[in-house]
């Protein structure tokens, strides 16, 4: 998020472009992308939650799956993501790598909260 606009970054977040993320996602879909991995670089690694605003905008706009990435820090963050956006999936790394949350416990938590999970 730069000056209230979601911009596309390259090279793992090191290089800012002037491309707007929403426009780029639409172009990617039009060019034949089968899904979008939407990583919020300003949220990545913070464990403060997914960037719900951009995820909701992009997942509502596109007709292909959107995978949210960046910011997961708790099971509640996943529940909030799936309750407040129409994204198809979520990606997380550090919370699993460091054993803070197990995949099985997260799946149980989401299932209890009426959020569909894959086996």
Cβ contacts of 11 within 8 Å, gap of 6 or more: none
Residue 37, SS3 per DSSP: strand
pLDDT band at residue 2 using 50, 70 and 90 as cut-offs: low
pLDDT of residue 83: 98
What are the residues facing 67 on neighbouring strands? Answer: 37, 89
pLDDT digits (tens, 9 = 90+) for 91-111: 999 899 988 899 999 999 999
Q: Which domains does the chain have, with CATH numbers?
A: 7-112 (3.40.50.12600)
pLDDT digits (tens, 9 = 90+) for 19-76: 999 999 999 999 999 999 999 988 887 889 999 999 999 999 999 999 999 999 999 9
Residue 7, SS3 per DSSP: strand
């Amino acid at each position: 998020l730069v000056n209230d606009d979601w911009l596309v970054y390259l090279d793992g977040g090191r290089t800012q472009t002037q491309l707007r993320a929403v426009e780029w996602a639409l172009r990617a879909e039009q060019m034949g992308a089968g899904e979008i991995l939407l990583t919020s670089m300003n949220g990545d690694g913070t464990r403060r939650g997914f960037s719900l605003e951009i995820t909701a905008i992009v997942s509502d706009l596109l007709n292909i799956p959107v995978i949210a990435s960046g910011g997961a820090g708790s099971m509640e963050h996943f529940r909030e993501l799936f309750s407040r956006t129409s994204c198809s999936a979520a990606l997380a790394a550090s919370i699993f790598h460091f054993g803070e949350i197990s995949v099985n416990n997260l799946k149980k938590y989401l299932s209890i909260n009426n959020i569909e999970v894959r086996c």
